[in-house]
Structure 1
Amino acid sequence: MDNVGIMRIFSCMKNRYDIAIVGGGLNGCALALALASGGFTVALIEAHKTQGSAKTQFDGRSYALALASTRLLSVIGIWDQIAEHAQPMLEIKVTDGRPGEGPSPFWMHFDHAELEEGPMGYMIEDRHLRDAFLAAISNQPNITHFTGAPVIGQKGLGGAVEVEIEGEETVNASLLVGCDGRKSGTAQRAGITRSFKDYGQTALVAAIGHEKPHGGIAHQFFLPAGPLAILPLTGNRSSIVWAESHDRAAEISALPDEGFIEALQPAFGDFLGALSVAGARFSYPLNQTLADQLTADRLALIGDAAHGIHPIAGQGLNQGLRDGAALSEVLVDAKRRGEDIGAAPVLDRYADWRSFDRTTLALATDTFNSMFSNDNPLMRLGRDIGMGLVNAVPGLRRGFMREAAGLTGDVPRLLRGQPL
């Protein structure tokens, strides 16, 4: 054997891991920590250079975490680090209406007091969650974190997969997991196709300061152009996700902060008093993109790489964490049985577990957006009556709350607060 062959074998042994994860966002970090706790060696590969502490300034980004997701974060050692920064969502009010006219008299009201487990969920700022993940990863010896390391190639090698990283030595693993977003390069390189639907809407995202306290109440206000979510943050601040048509959103995005508030006010209303922008403003087009399969040869997809959905239910991150919890459980159980974790029968268990849930949620968010993002009088009457009926039936209300909290269905151990 020549020197090149010897060096290649040495490099493969040096950079051999049980699992390689492409995508170092929140889903990738959570999956890496879960797998490491299950005894796997993990290469976490992030295309962007990881910044230092994000706590110096609030940039407006935040996430809604379902109750089940907080249980997962507790098991992997994250929740205790961020709980003091989390704002519980004690109530959710869902209304229908038009900007400047106020809400319809028919609405849905969900109160956490109807759940024995506690608040349905929490709001947490990105800076606190991301810093907690990075600190935990740096202290986990089973995780090697590659940052500023875009993946430029991947290929199967019999019982393994080889991942080529720009500017780095090749990584080899028994399984490759794609957590790299809606335009997943991992999925593309594996030949996995996607279905796509453009909603003709753009989401305007910002943190809003307000004069009056929010009381821990989240609001979902359905408007003809698209929904407006008002989600409570700590202090007198709320996060908004405001869907408008692409053209109107572009006009609003171009306005200064004062103009943005002036445009927002008719939709938001005055129930929280005077408003102001607190942090940066963001916008992104809304679409649905679903991978046609969740697995391939020694490969699995989770999060937006598997299913990017409309944010109407605030379930994007929660579904990604649910994917990771299910995949971790399947792989840990397979390892204990002595199975090859990258083998098709093992990965089929993950795909079977998650396929129904992801299809159902994609259909539900698509249907809700179609039903509510219009001003058709008959549609308005039908949905208002429907909301009134749900609100009047305690069993239906409770069912919706348990679904939003992530407590229904075949729940993975991590989401039940149990270690792997």
Structure 2
Amino acid sequence: MTSRSRHGVHLSRDYDYDAVVCGAGVAGLAAARGLGGLGLRVLVLDKQHTPRDVAKGEVLQPGALRVLRRWGTEEALRRRGAVGLDRLVVRSDRGAPLMTLDYGQLPEGDRKLLAHEHLAILHTLAQDLPPTVELRRGTLVREALREDDGRVGGVLLTSQDTRAAAAEAVEVRAPLVVAADGISSRLRRAAGIEGQRVEYPHRLVSLELTPPGPLPHDFSAYLTDRGLRLVYPLPGGRVRLYLQTEPDELRGLTADGFADWLARAVREVPALDGLVPALPEAVGSKQTFAVGRYLADRLAAPGLALVGEAAYAVHPMAAQGMNTAITSAASLAEQIARALDGSAPGDGGARLGAAAADAALRAYEEERRPTLVQAAKTSANAARMVTDLAWPGRVVGRRAVRCTGANARLLHTVTHNMAGLGPRPLTPLDRLQQIGLLPDPRAHRVPTA
């Protein structure tokens, strides 16, 4: 029996699933894949009837690829035409490399990135879900359900079918609820988990192009007087282009006005001349979005785990967001696996019990949050180095690019961190050497491990 109080829905422990995952983006699908791989019965819910085609989450780092390799998803993406890259490069507007993160120096098996469009990554993850996972789209999660002791024990949901005048609310019970419902997560707010979102003082415009000439062969960020220009290849002879803009720079522009703005913005970067012929046809692919960063104060509460942008969001420049979502989902599944060993079965036929779930959530928080804190610093520093147009930030950022680019030791550390292979924090001394305020006698000593 369940009862409703002014604080929400309270229920006894009689579970319908082992886990309910709220959100079918990369984070939610990765969590479902990891949990379903343990033989758990998992329900994935998403309010969208079909996945949205958005310009995000297209470059997979080696740390995430380690996870996808275990699941067989990496090979599936390669069969779908994913493009392999081996470098992240910060360049001048004429294309001269200023700082090159060479993935070829990383351990065997971790020397490539993969690029594919976001929808292809979502579809591949969805097709690889184990048979114990049910994916239900067009369903809105209205609120979390609370057990008698206050822990989260399920969700209240309704269909998003617009043909239904009044969709019936349905309670779904599970000892584990995974909030993968984005940066505005309703479940995170319901759990009382705080965090601060910081908006960057610019926007990004994304376009997809099919240039007539050779494709770029790496992930390149160009430094310009008007901010970031980011380019990398996609399958099928296509290219993704990001352009930094002032918040109101494009406001009120007609389609022709935007086409003129775009042509000027690309022609200002001589290294991008090869993209100019493809610009007219690319105008229709324009997506514009605000950019911010966010890190939740906690990653878990009793019965509830946060993954993906519900927990952590960063600037796209460093290609960290999707990758930390995948590795966080894998970490959660690993902690659940450990907690399942020797644990009592759950109630109502569930394999996972509340005690085992909460033990795993505590371990997930302890293992994962320091990694996300470090990844947030790495991403914020990388974004600031190439996007800050204020005079002091621009001077420091350009200096950091040049000094880091000339220091093999720091380059190797930054590459390792960007690849998601485990945090290697830069010390205060490293930071001073990174902006050239102190000499580095170890600059040519690249770590062997």
Q: Which category describes the TM-score, using the shorter chain as reference length?
A: 0.7 to 0.9
User: Post-superposition shift, 1:168?
Assistant: 5.5
Task: Answer yes or no: is the 8 Å Cα contact 2:206–2:243 preserved in 1.
Answer: yes
Structure 1 SS opposite 2:210: strand
Aligned to 1:87: 83
The residue identity in structure 1 corresponding to 2:58 is Y
Instruction: Note if contact 1:88-1:119 (Cα within 8 Å) is conserved in structure 2.
Output: no
The match for 1:107 is: 98
Deviation of 1:150 after TM superposition, in Å, equals: 0.3
Within 5 Å, give how 1:362-401 maps onto structure 2: 362-375=376-389, 379-401=393-415
- Please show how residues 241-320 of structure 1 align to structure 2 within 5 Å: 241-250=242-251, 254-255=255-256, 258-259=259-260, 261-269=262-270, 270-273=272-275, 274-276=277-279, 277-278=281-282, 280-320=285-325
Shift of 1:217: 1.6
Q: Report the equivalent of 1:126.
A: 118
CA contact (8 A) 1:224 1:372 kept: no
Contact 1:87-1:216 within 8 A present in 2 as well:
no
Q: Mark the CA change 1:233 to 1:290 in structure 2 (over 3 Å): closer, same or farther.
A: same
Over the matched positions of the two proteins, sequence identity in percent amounts to 21
Amino acid at match of 2:377: L
Structure 1 pair 377–202 and aligned structure 2 pair: CA distance change class (3 A): closer
Cα 1:244–1:258, aligned 2, differ >3 Å: closer, same or farther? closer
* 8 Å Cα contact 2:266/2:273 also seen in 1: no
Contact kept, 8 Å, 1:252 with 1:263, in 2: the verdict is no
Quick one: distance in 1 between partners of 2:118 and 2:193? 30
Worse overlay, 286-295 or 59-68? 59-68
How far is 1:96 from its partner? 4.8
What is the correspondence of 1:53-202 to structure 2 with a 5 Å cutoff?
Answer: 63-84=58-79, 85-96=81-92, 102=94, 107-115=98-106, 116-117=108-109, 119-137=111-129, 140-157=130-147, 158=149, 161-166=153-158, 167=168, 169-202=170-203
TM-score in terms of structure 2 length: 0.77
Unaligned runs of 5+ in 2: 2-11, 159-167, 345-354, 425-449
Shift of 1:364: 3.4
Deviations 1:202-257 (A, max 9, x none): 12112122232235221112345542221121343211222211111435685577
Is the CA contact (8 Å cut-off) linking 2:202 and 2:244 kept in structure 1? yes
Aligned to 1:5: none
1:16 counterpart SS class? coil
Specify every segment of 5 or more residues in structure 1 that has no aligned partner in the other structure, as ranges.
Answer: 2-10, 411-420
The 10-residue stretch of structure 1 (332-341 or 174-183) with the greater mean CA deviation from structure 2: 332-341
Secondary structure of the residue that 1:355 maps to in structure 2?
Answer: helix
Question: Which residue identity does 1:111 align to in structure 2?
Answer: D
RMSD: 3.1
Residues 1:214 and 2:215 are matched in the alignment:
yes
3-state SS of 1:321 partner: helix
**Count of aligned pairs:** 390
SS of residue matched to 1:247: coil
Distance 2:254 2:59 in 1: 23
Task: State the Cα distance separating 1:384 from its structure 2 match.
Answer: 3.5
Residue type matched to 1:190 in 2?
A: A
CA–CA distance in structure 1, aligned partners of residues 360 and 408 of structure 2: 40
What is the TM-score when the length of structure 1 is the normalising length?
0.82
